[in-house]
Chains A and B, each alone.
Chain A
């Protein structure tokens, strides 16, 4: 299939594997930021193509995983109201809150619907004027423009029965939080290609400089990731710490300015609590005061409450790249996709779920042929 199979070519993958092996003289630890990349790495077995001394750790870029328990509980509370149609992207439905998930809220009679776009939720609001329609706005900068557009259109068309439970998070503050941690072991980043499609990569340039860490904007297909790893290792070996763009077919340095403008108009930067990582300053998006009436938390007065996360779950360490899923004693035993202790086991983008589905053991066999 065009535009897909070219990026999954086995021989080209082997060539990149050999190139990486040739230039890597020392052990390096890289982090892929985005959950979509983690998913591709484990699904295609990309780490089996890398030299043993090179470690990929899986970053916090899974919006499903980092959404706080409080927000999941609020979502369930709102979705359980008889006057509400609650719309969400599919994989949020199985994320456990304190007691249950959105699928259970649905089984209890809540009207919970999977949508592919926030604009679908807006359409549902127009078709059901007697209902309150709430969209669970989850995601990084990638999904922010479409969510902003939904609020903007609701405002313009005066659709009053629509609101949004906003759980938006931002990548650069999370990267800085990781890099300034005393436990940090990440030496280079594969930045999230689709986040940069929207935002560009100028905001990563000061991070690369300040922390002396190479950052390569990387795509999601196997060859994208292998090329991203190659570019990152090459910088490390040459002692450089720059922002480079592997994903040139989608990303420009300045990003999509129209989308950025829309995000700024509808959202403002706020502190955000990340599941497993705690509160990070200036790491989230909330609605601008002008659009406050579309804020579901305000509209439904969902009580602010704090929740203790499972003490057994080490998802915080996993999201920071300090531990790998199979290093957790509960992995695959007390914690499975059917009975997750934490969100990294729930979302298909979560590192634990990806390991459980595709591996259930550390990568051992290397598949690099020749040298």
Chain B
């Protein structure tokens, strides 16, 4: 109750640094977490939200359910390896998968801009339908709104999803403990670079395709095999670095990772060097990290590598005894540094 009063006292605007919302507040970095910690968290405070997980895990009439929502705004709407429709389905499916749930039902809200070609809408909807089929979920309810021309960016989509949790494993950031090993299911940075390449008109020798994919089957395969998973997190905005920081902070532990163990494809690395970006912060749509007991790591890696979505899975680091939620990275040349969370999105450097 005391915290709630504090919140009321600090109304109307608890954040002093910025009197208005900046794009960086949606970038998956520190500013976005300030919104969560200072505005949304205190406003809606409850035990489910306080877990700071990808979705809420609720017990309802004896059933254990996962519930999540996500909104999708991407420009361009279509890019190599995916489109906004596919993202809207897989993104929510993946958030459910990160709770260890079997995704069942999705809702979709579409906000369309006046003047959007009907053919574009049809392509997006077709893509959503195919994605839902591949992920094994049903889209059971929806809504459509149209805004004035110039007030939207073609199509915005929100999806929410419900999944059932059919095993006894508790997958939460707070279950992460020192000694846990961290597995990554493949190379990073492809989605962000694929989208940016189209946006900036960059051409590479061969096209870089988004890694956009539903990860629910791979996760359930690990759980069905009895792998002791303590936490899962998909790498979306803010990339691997932000996901590691989120978990370290929520769990109050340290994390140590090795840069040379993190797979990055040559073409993605090349694009990052060219654009002045660090692949560790670039967005993904088909990648996750799993925090696993050391005794299960060999088996987990074997299972992941047997799946198309985990072909290049690797052991990238471990949870340490340190407190304070810092992530440390051993660089390619063998020195250590902090792997920090960015303020907002990465901004390309001058030279």
Contacts and interface: CB of A to CB of B under 8 A. Distances in A.
Interface of A: 1, 4-5, 8-10, 13-14, 36, 39, 42-46, 48-49, 63-64, 89-94, 103-104, 106-108, 114, 116, 138-140, 142-143, 194, 222, 337-339, 347-349, 356-360, 365, 367
Given A107-B20, A222-B332, 19 more contacts: A1-B270, A4-B270, A10-B333, A10-B334, A43-B337, A45-B331, A46-B333, A49-B335, A89-B350, A90-B276, A90-B349, A93-B347, A116-B200, A116-B348, A142-B351, A348-B347, A349-B350, A359-B337, A367-B334
B150 to A, nearest CB: 13
Given A104-B18, A349-B349, A45 B333 contact: yes
A10 B332 contact: yes
Contact of B351 (A63, A104, A338): A63
Given A1-B270, A45-B331, A358-B338, A107 B350 contact: no
Interface stretch (B5-13, B23-31, B80-88): B23-31
A194 B350 CA distance: 12
A139 B333 contact: no
21 contacts: A9-B333, A36-B351, A42-B337, A43-B331, A44-B331, A44-B337, A45-B334, A49-B333, A49-B335, A91-B349, A91-B350, A92-B350, A103-B22, A104-B20, A104-B22, A114-B347, A138-B350, A139-B351, A348-B347, A348-B349, A358-B338
B336 interface: yes
Contact of A357 (B18, B338, B351): B338
A41 to B, nearest CB: 10
B270 to A, nearest CB: 7
Nearest to B326: A360
A43 B241 CA distance: 14
Contacts of B269: 1, 4
A44 B348 contact: no
A143 B350 contact: yes
B341 to A, nearest CB: 9
B340 interface: yes
A10 B331 CA distance: 9
A143 B351 CA distance: 8
Interface in B252-302: 266, 269-270, 273, 275-276
B17 A1 contact: no
B152 to A, nearest CB: 17
A254 B194 CA distance: 39
B212 interface: no
Contacts of B333: 8-10, 13, 44-46, 49, 222
Assign chain B's interface to a size class.
20 to 34
Given A1-B269, A4-B273, A339-B17, A94 B332 contact: no
A106 B344 CA distance: 15
A44 B338 CA distance: 10
A248 B338 CA distance: 32
A36 B351 CA distance: 7
B21 interface: yes
Nearest to B351: A142
Question: B-side binding surface: helix, strand, loop or mixed?
Answer: loop
A350 to B, nearest CB: 11
B312 interface: no
B71 interface: no
Given A91-B349, A143-B350, A8 B332 contact: yes
B107 interface: no
Nearest to B21: A107
A338 B343 contact: yes
A104 B270 CA distance: 32
A89 B270 contact: no
B20 A108 contact: yes
Nearest to B335: A45
Q: 4 tightest A-B contacts by CB?
A: A45-B335, A90-B347, A90-B348, A358-B337
Contacts of A9: 333
Q: Which of B17, B31, B332, B333 has the most CB of A within 10 A?
A: B333
A48 B20 contact: no
A222 B347 CA distance: 22
B96 to A, nearest CB: 32
Interface string B244-256: 0000000000000
A89 B348 contact: yes
Contacts of A107: 20-23
Contacts of B332: 5, 8, 10, 44, 222
A63 B349 CA distance: 10
Nearest to B19: A104
Contact of A358 (B270, B275, B340, B343): B340
Given A1-B269, A107-B22, A45 B343 contact: no
A114 B337 contact: no
Contacts of B21: 107
Interface string B201-217: 00000000000000000
Contacts of B331: 43-45
Interface in B9-51: 17-18, 20-24, 30-31, 34
Interface centre among A4, A14, A142 (most CB of B within 10 A): A4
B199 to A, nearest CB: 10
Contact of B24 (A4, A103, A222, A365): A103
Q: Quick one: which of A48, A90, A108, A365 has the most chain B CB within 10 A? A: A90
Given A104-B18, A338-B17, A44 B200 contact: no
Contacts of B22: 103-104, 106-107
A116 B275 contact: yes
A4 B269 CA distance: 9
Contacts of B18: 104
Given A14-B334, A48-B336, A338-B17, A63 B350 contact: yes
B298 to A, nearest CB: 26
B350 A139 contact: yes
Interface string B315-351: 0000000000000000111111110100100011111
B13 to A, nearest CB: 14
A143 B200 CA distance: 19
A140 B351 CA distance: 9
Contacts of A39: 349
B20 to A, nearest CB: 5
B92 to A, nearest CB: 28
B351 to A, nearest CB: 5
Contacts of A93: 347
